[in-house]
Structure 1
């Protein structure tokens, strides 16, 4: 067992990637580790010709993954777009791992991300001593990706200022990065491309210019279509977390996962599953990622402060923390849901008591 808290996808799923490479007979684009068909198999899971089982990394519409992979074989970049917690970063990481064998070329977009973070910077000690030179140049993940023919990931693209975003236009259209201080340029090797993520809750923060939008193909990742699909996602990710963290707790009962997913889906949609009761929705997104976090936190509570078996009391604080982001508005939404929906369900009495007590 590795002592690394979170391994990169290409390390964690190295066995699967190796098995896919051995059985992959499809045509591979330049500098791709796998063919496009094998990349989709890695993402969606399936049984290989030799009987090896590949686990699904994305549970949802296969066509979306095919579109994303096909985009990366062209000269257009890929923008994964959707609500927070819809696996955009997760898919981005696994695409880079399967295609380039390296998911570490990443730029985290923030309001403070500068142009130098995308283009290049300078080692100012060497710059002062030697003047502009290749030795003084500080390469960014974009430059390394261009030189090595690998995918570069940009997280939260719309969090970056519009003027900084537009530094990508030349890189994406000309596939080159001018360095006027050295009177030279970096030209991208085949295999280079960019995967960016953005969430629609940030719409209007720093909208992409029309020129930049044209250089991206956008794939919208939706929330899971069905209850069973979302339960399966939560179960798989929780089991993976439990294995890595070696928590002294039993595997969570499917019933507990189902109840959390039910709460999140009902509050998210503003309607109970039976369609009979309209609900107020809280200010947060209540994403699948948050449901996973609630179960993981519950397992830690059960393992270290309980008998190892996940119970409603272990989950109550996590549920409330996910729902109540605004201490006034969301608290009213939660109390109404607790009293009008959870309280009326005969097999949810333990959930009602645990949440009422912690309230």
Structure 2
């Protein structure tokens, strides 16, 4: 029953956010309904638009799962941005210096990227377990390290001669995801990751222990769960997922090279998706697709109606705000109303007992 209420109020928050977006467009002098219509047309209503949206959604699903895996288990990993960059760079280096047949090159590139993300996330896990340092601070600082380190590589050792701006050469073609009639097969990587993470959380002992640890770490420790080991595992899985998203950017798309600003469109999206999805696996995928629709359709909305691209970022923030607020505040109201009803029942029982006692004493 509680789960259904959460879904209902989350949908209510989405409806409010969409309505507020319409009102904002109208207040700014744009045709609100026309703008939304073009947003959907350029993100869903053609094969090219749909496949483009799915490609973007694949990245957001991986980043959202990375954040939700960490948050739901009690690990405050805010390093998705850095792990994303490290995974992208690992896939780039492997793709530049190794050239195997595609059936080996592609899975090995993904494995190398995932391993690099795990190793980078393990730094924060090590400092937490060895020195009791807050992983939130460590992962945030490591984002800057990854950013400057990758910039150094593409401006120095990996710089492609003849280019006007820093960038790596394109990776070997055997490491590119095949594209069939516009469908980027890298989407299948995100789908497989989603299935595995869903099974991990809902069909495994580790997922159960992570859930208990995320809800109450003291209770899980008393119950015999190895909290330190589970924390490390959650950080490693989170880092691997973010790094896989980085690998998808390099191995899919058009450029197939590491370029400045590669994380610009995805830096903090995973964290927002995890928050609005309340760290639930299925909800994470749903909101990732919704965000991908908005980001992909924004270009068409600007082209046809003149609505700035930045409006979609505003709409995304409004969606997060209203979904989280409606979910949390509605639960607060329900709890207050339930407490009020319980108090009324107790009060009526006390009055009944008092009435019986008074009638008995009169007899």
Which structure carries more strand by proportion?
1
Q: Which has the larger radius of gyration?
A: 2
TM-score by length of 2: 0.22
Which fold has the larger relative contact order, with Cα–Cα distance below 8 Å and residues 6 or more apart in sequence?
A: 2
TM-score by length of 1: 0.22
Which structure carries more helix by proportion?
2
